[in-house]
Homo-oligomer: A and B are copies of this chain.
Amino acid sequence: MIELNFSNMMEEVIGVRGLSKRILEDFQGKVIDVHGQIRDRLWPELAFIDLPSQDTSEIKKIAQEVREESENFLILGIGGSALGPKALLEALSPFHNFTKSPKVFIYDNVDPRTLKHILSLIDLKKTSVNVISKSGSTAETAASFMILWDGMRELLKRRFSKRFIATTDPEKGNLRTIVGREGLKSLPIPRGVVGRYSVLSPVGLLLAEVIGIDSDELLIGAKDIQKRCSNSELWKNPIYLFGTLLYLMDKKEGRTINVMVAYADGLKPLSEWFCQLWAESLGKQEVGLTPYPSVGVTDQHSQLQLWIEGPQDKVVIFIRTNDYGVDIKIPNVFKDMEGLSYLSGHTLSELMKAEEEATEIALAKAGRPNITITVPKIDAYHMGQLFHFFELSTAFTGFLYEINPFNQPGVEEGKNLTYGMMGKKGFEKKRKEVEEYRKKRSRWRV
């Protein structure tokens, strides 16, 4: 089970900039109120809580077909449709494409250079394409889907549509219509489940199965953390503690940046996945916390200076693991050099863990609050725990802020302006707006 240590958030340990036990105790009433909203499923988007109980047999069946038919598995998706699969791939099968089959490519942009490279590397005849979009009309995903659709049809002629798997709304949208019309394989993103809360739906689980991870392991992990966190008592509930501590550090201390530093290269995309979840869910109505993706020990040589001596605006969240699965011993060379020889006989994971702990302590000594989440091992079971832990924490924290943690109204205007420029019907006014704007911005440049 993952563990939360919040000693370095408490004034008892880090001094005046910490939180008191009293403040947390006084907060229990609010926690019970929010707990009720979650328990009673007052929001339809809380449907993600039920994902751990889903039936995975259809996912397993399709994954099996992909593994038998294909040398390459290409995901088309963006935002919540790509970050979860990426987090799973890097954590559970690092360096995947160098050694395993099917190779996995995740195209989550419209950068033509990237797609050209992917297309030059894979044989489309031996490729399965998983197009992921809840709405079925995400512009970026639609663009790459249309290119792949045309390309595969040209190349494969008959039965080409069987090489597409659409992961989308169970009933609505363009992609669902195409599934019905063209006979694509498909998997549903259940009603109510919002993109950034969807990693434990077929969005993430199909990729998991394709790379040989038992998706049920992910779900059991999620189920276990949920059970562990089903009570409303703040002191016994790591999910509620996580949200409450970060909320209070904003409200009481003005700390609005939450750095997530994972001490494993393979967890960097997990940190980026968390950043979408936290940023899009909480950032609205001029409030919100800015999550910052980071990797240890690497970023000690990049960001730590700022965390420890910069503005008093951050809380650092450490993700550490007890077990890297493998290890390498540092040999006994350069014995006469004191600046190097102290490392001999230790292992890389010892150095990694020592540096993580040293950074916690250094921050604490400087009165800079931080939290540590310990993951016993980086495997499917514990990844399931982490995903569900952060999703539940995010919803909980959104309710503390009294905002809707499931929408993203702020991105609409950019979409409409893009429609205007791309000539979509009904957005002619937006195109005019762009032209007006171009005039205004021609002056201040150099």
Contact = CB atoms under 8 A, between A and B. Distances in A.
Interface string A163-192: 000000000001001100000000000000
A127 interface: no
A160 interface: no
Nearest to A137: B339
Main secondary structure of the interface of A (DSSP, over half): helix
A194 to B, nearest CB: 12
A43 interface: no
Nearest to A234: B446
Interface stretch (A50-58, A68-76, A140-148): A140-148
B362 A414 contact: yes
Nearest to A103: B98
Nearest to A331: B150
B410 A112 contact: no
Interface string A318-350: 000000111111110110011110111011111
Interface string A269-305: 0001001100110111111101011011110111111
A411 interface: yes
B115 A446 contact: no
Interface string A342-379: 11101111111011011101101110000000000000
A253 interface: no
Interface residues of A, number: 151
Interface stretch (A5-13, A31-39, A212-220, A382-390): A5-13
Nearest to A114: B265
B286 A7 contact: no
Given A306-B279, A358-B421, A425-B342, A5 B330 contact: no
A27 interface: no
A25 interface: no
Quickly give the copy total for this chain.
Answer: 2
A414 B356 CA distance: 9
Nearest to A272: B302
A339 to B, nearest CB: 4
Interface stretch (A59-67, A199-207, A391-399, A437-445): A437-445
Contacts of A139: 343, 351, 355
B111 A324 contact: yes
A78 B362 contact: no
Contacts of A357: 417, 421, 434
B266 A113 contact: yes
Contact of A327 (B8, B112, B293, B301): B112
Counting from the closest, the 10 A-B pairs by CB-CB distance are: A79-B301, A283-B306, A283-B310, A358-B417, A288-B310, A7-B441, A276-B302, A342-B424, A309-B410, A150-B331
